[in-house]
Amino acid sequence: MTDRLTDLVARTRAFVDEHVIPVEDAWDGDATAAGGDRLRVDLQRAARAAGVFAPHAPREYGGLGLGMADRAPVFEAAGRSVFGPMALNLNAPDEGNLHLLDQVAVGEQRTRYLAPLARGEQRSAFAMTEPPPGAGSDPSALLTTARRDGAGWLIDGHKKFITGADGAGFFIVMARTDGATMFLVPADRAGLRITRHVPTMDKSMIGGHCEIELSGVRVGPDDVLGEVDEGFRYAQVRLGPARLTHVMRWLGAAQRAHETAVAYVAQRSSFGRPLAEQGMVELMIADNEIDLAATRALLLTACRAIDSGAAGREETSLAKVFGAEAVHRVADRAVQLCGGAGVSADLPVARIAREIRPFRIYDGPSEVHRMSLARRAVRRYGRRD
């Protein structure tokens, strides 16, 4: 890393340790209980003052303009707290939406949506997933429709598990046209309604995971994001980098769980000697070190591919599958190493394990990525000359 990047990582870690982790600990990682958007605004104000706010956002909108590879250690430092990404304005889904808007939005769309999102003045949501039999792991099952009505469109559909929906300023809605199209929909647009919060095991995502209904939601031609019928192509623009930034953030949380567990076993004795000197404990510590290092290596390989201008789909799937499963193993071992304390709120490892577990499902379940990787391998090696 350059000296500038090393300094930014150090300052990010210091900010998270001093300002963010105490709040997370006080509320056991529950963003709603801790204050929701009020907490977000307060923490983001402090992050700006510390010079660590929005490291990924374009410089023209007040960010630091980091590429993917340079984001990795900064996002990892932010991810040490489950509230850290919210504080630095690099949490999901806003970070992924910001990247998509920066790549695709034009003209007034950049002023109306990208700029306030980058500055933390608004939150956003990405509305693609639907209840069965609609789109989930298979986006081609998309049932939400947009039909032309004069110069504009009318959108009808039902979405589920829409992260950050409650309190979002706008939605990026994927709807079926002749192909699929993305639409920018302000949250106060008539016909858009949040019907419920879906109760989930994780608590740190501000705005919850919601169901929304769209009933005759009217949008104009200027609300189309990108080109009509090109929504699936734009989804790849968003999802690849977003999968990697998820790995970055959860890698930071897993690292903190690991450090907590090692410190615990170094001080705790059993059967006449420190736990850290017990062979089975040493194996778990070593396996955590291996999983963390391997995740970083695959992550950086994928980041460099994207920074070079490549699609990086295979590299992204490799990093996402391995990373999601590796950080889960790290957090689970940390719980085991800490024993009874590991399942309590006295240490952060229980909440980290709770928050990390869903990552094996969202942004593409491990099984779907494995299917994709296998099919690529068959195309590459399966032919006989």
Nearest one of 185, 184, 180 to 230, comparing CA atoms? 180
Angle (CA) 371-300-293 rounded to 5° is 90
Q: Is residue 52 part of a domain?
A: yes
What φ, ψ does residue 343 adopt, rounded to 5°?
A: -105, 10
Of 177, 198, 228, the one marking the end of a domain is: 228
Q: Residues 100-137: pLDDT tens digits? A: 999 999 999 999 999 999 999 999 999 999 999 999 98
Q: Is residue 20 part of a domain?
A: yes
The mean per-residue pLDDT over the stretch 18-47 comes to: 97
Of 207, 228, 249, the one marking the end of a domain is: 228
Nearest one of 79, 50, 187 to 127, comparing CA atoms? 187
Are both 189 and 237 inside the same structural domain? no
DSSP 63: S
Are both 291 and 222 inside the same structural domain? no
The mean per-residue pLDDT over the stretch 332-358 comes to: 97
Res 1 pLDDT > 90: no
Q: Is residue 116 part of a domain?
A: no
d(CA 242, CA 249) in angstroms, rounded, equals 11
Res 383 pLDDT > 90: no
Q: Residues 55-72: pLDDT tens digits? A: 999 999 999 999 999 999
Are both 203 and 259 inside the same structural domain? no
Res 145 pLDDT > 90: yes
User: How high is the pLDDT of residue 172?
Assistant: 98
Q: Which range of residues forms the domain containing residue 271?
A: 232-381
d(CA 154, CA 351) in angstroms, rounded, equals 42
On whether the CB atoms of residues 88 and 252 are closer than 8 A, the answer is no
Are both 366 and 242 inside the same structural domain? yes
Are both 259 and 353 inside the same structural domain? yes
Are both 237 and 315 inside the same structural domain? yes
Average model confidence (pLDDT) across the chain: 96
The mean per-residue pLDDT over the stretch 338-364 comes to: 95
C-alpha dihedral sign at 49, 51, 55, 60: positive
d(CA 239, CA 173) in angstroms, rounded, equals 14
On whether the CB atoms of residues 85 and 79 are closer than 8 A, the answer is yes
User: How high is the pLDDT of residue 301?
Assistant: 97
Q: In this prediction, what percent of the chain has a pLDDT beyond 90?
A: 94
Are both 278 and 371 inside the same structural domain? yes
Tell me which residue has tokens 């491990």: 366
Question: DSSP labels for 116-154?
Answer: HHHTTS--EEEE---STTSSSS-GGG---EEEEETTEEE
Question: DSSP labels for 295-345?
Answer: HHHHHHHHHHHHHTT---HHHHHHHHHHHHHHHHHHHHHHHHHHHHHHTST
d(CA 224, CA 221) in angstroms, rounded, equals 6
172's CB contacts (< 8 A; 6+ apart) are 97, 100, 124, 125, 126, 127, 182, 183, 184, 185, 225
Of 228, 256, 286, the one marking the end of a domain is: 228
User: How high is the pLDDT of residue 15?
Assistant: 98
What total of structural domains would you count in the chain? 3
Tell me which residue has tokens 């690099």: 90
Q: Is residue 114 part of a domain?
A: no
User: How high is the pLDDT of residue 385?
Assistant: 61
Q: Is residue 104 part of a domain?
A: no
Res 367 pLDDT > 90: yes
Are both 62 and 129 inside the same structural domain? no
Q: Residues 181-202: pLDDT tens digits? A: 999 999 999 999 999 999 999 9
For residue 156, the surrounding DSSP H or E stretch is: strand 152-163
Runs of H (alpha helix) within the chain: 3-15, 21-27, 37-50, 68-78, 84-87, 94-104, 108-109, 115-118, 231-267, 279-307, 313-342, 349-356, 366-381
Are both 244 and 326 inside the same structural domain? yes
Burial class from Cβ neighbours inside 10 Å (0-12, 13-18, 19+) for residue 144 reads buried
Q: Residues 273-298: pLDDT tens digits? A: 889 999 999 999 999 999 999 999 99
Tokens of 227: 């080109």
Are both 205 and 276 inside the same structural domain? no
Are both 209 and 241 inside the same structural domain? no
d(CA 375, CA 124) in angstroms, rounded, equals 34
Nearest one of 261, 251, 349 to 300, comparing CA atoms? 251
User: How high is the pLDDT of residue 270?
Assistant: 86
Provide the residue type at 3 as one letter: D
Q: Is residue 313 part of a domain?
A: yes
On whether the CB atoms of residues 165 and 210 are closer than 8 A, the answer is yes
Q: Is residue 117 part of a domain?
A: no
Q: Is residue 241 part of a domain?
A: yes
Provide the residue type at 201 as one letter: M
Tokens of 212: 């929304």
